[in-house]
Amino acid sequence: MTVDILRGVLGWCAVINMGLLIWWFLFLAFAHDWVYRMHSKWFKISVEQFNAIHYAGFTFFKVAIFVFNIIPYFALRIVG
């Protein structure tokens, strides 16, 4: 695998993952009550716990995107 192919893969992975993160945020922003009702049927959680879980999920996913996609992409841009 060449550096150009790897750079392209990392770039597209970052774009797709950021799209998923934005979709997740928008889904919760505009359908929060519906999503909470659906999850509260499966798990006995409060609204505060639900919000904390999703906030932590956003944070973890965003950090993972930066660590595994964006930073290696820019490192390959600098090296290549």
pLDDT digits (tens, 9 = 90+) for 4-62: 999 999 999 999 999 999 999 999 999 999 999 999 999 999 999 999 999 999 999 99
Residue 64: the pLDDT is 98
Residue 58: the pLDDT is 98
Q: Is the pLDDT of residue 1 over 90?
A: no
- Tally of CA atoms within 13 A in the half-sphere of 38 that contains its CB: 6
Contact 7, 80 (CB under 8 A): yes
pTM of full prediction above 0.85: yes
Residue 73: the pLDDT is 97
What DSSP state is assigned to residue 69? I
